[in-house]
Amino acid sequence: MNTVTKTLRSLSDLTDAELVHADKRAALEQVAARYAVAVTPAIAALVDQSDLDDPIARQFTPDAAELDRRPEESFDPIGDFTHSPVEGIVHRYPDRVLLKLTHICAVYCRFCFRREMIGPRAPALNAAALDAALGYIAARSDIWEVVLTGGDPLVLSPRRLKKIVSRLAEIAHLAVIRVHTRMPVADPARITPALVRALKAPGKATYVVLHANHPRELTPAARAACARLIDAGIPLLSQSVLLRGVNDDSATLGELMRTFVACRIKPYYLHHADLAPGTSHLRTTIAHGQELMRALRGRYSGLCQPTYVLDIPGGHGKSPIGPSYLAADGPGRYRATDFNGGDHCYPPPK
């Protein structure tokens, strides 16, 4: 087991911790120079050092394949900039906006769709920009929900978060504050009672969406961190990314969803990996994703079924892309497929 005691932020750190082979360090210098690196002690402890291509290492440690940029890949694969009316805001859907509070994360995922925009060198959202972003939300009564994202919003202090949440609470037409984070997995100790209190706003519903991709990420410490949020009345949902060599088999994916449910976290989204630069080695095909969703259906509880989605390149939003179980079979008639592959008429023949 790795006994790392600080966040690893350089190739030297990763090499010293034996999370990168020393003979590969030179080949990875360009990767680390271009894309941010951070591996927390909690994540480092999960890496199988006998196999540095294991499902945890593949998510967080640099790979020379990240320099292989494909023509279809994009600096802004889901169109954040296209739908950003003011700094810090992404307004893609009519009733909700993203509020990007920071560009910093506790850990940096090698498949991140914002990998070109985030990291310790990226500019922070300053006070004037935050005022303008909150003013944008306050001026539009059709905005029902705000999603706090980044970066990871939970890198901010409880005091800072409380001030932002309190200002959001003053917006009468806003009903829901949603927080997207990896922090309960990446650094469970940061989910303190003070942070939990900071996320709650009088008269508003707070939801937290946890990003985890492999069942090993839900350690006892991570489960306890999630429980602190849930026991305080904050519902948790999950989002995961379908990744080659991480969770692209039905047993692993099913165990991940069961682990979420056992932790009182409702599976929400399974994302098809976005067309971010240098991530083709981690993407599966949509056809394989659909096969995996078929494998989950009927074999795992309905509570364990996420929605498989594609964030359409160019900023056109998410579309469900799971397999279809229903086909037209004449006027008012259909063919329905059961989870065993059986074919049935609906309505049944008289």
The structure tokens 């003011």 sit at: 86
Place 146 in a pLDDT band, splitting at 50, 70 and 90.
very high
Query: Which active-site residues does the annotation give?
Result: 92-93, 96, 105, 109, 112, 114, 274, 311, 318
CB-based burial of residue 315 (10 Å sphere; 0-12 exposed, 13-18 middle, 19+ buried)? middle
* CA distances for 25 relative to 29, 54, 277, angstroms: 6, 18, 21
pLDDT digits 0-9 by tens, 219-233: 999 999 999 999 999
> Average pLDDT in the 131-152 region?
97
CATH class of 81-325: alpha beta
**Joined tokens for residue 146:** 């705000």
Q: What share of the chain in percent tops pLDDT 70? A: 99
Q: Please state, for a pLDDT cut of 90, what percent of the chain lies above it.
A: 92
Provide the mean pLDDT of the chain: 96
User: Please, which residues have CB within 8 angstroms of residue 71's CB and are 6 or more apart in sequence?
Assistant: none
Is residue 2's pLDDT more than 70? Answer: no
How is the chain split into domains, by residue range? 11-67, 81-325
Report the interhelical angle of 158-169 vs 127-138 (nearest 10°): 30
- Residue 288 in 3-state DSSP? helix
* Residue range 254-259: mean pLDDT, rounded: 98
Alpha-carbon distance of 247 to 54, in angstroms, equals 11
pTM of the model: 0.95
pLDDT of 203 above 90: yes
Half-sphere exposure of 159 (CA within 13 A, CB side): 0
d(CA 313, CA 14): 33
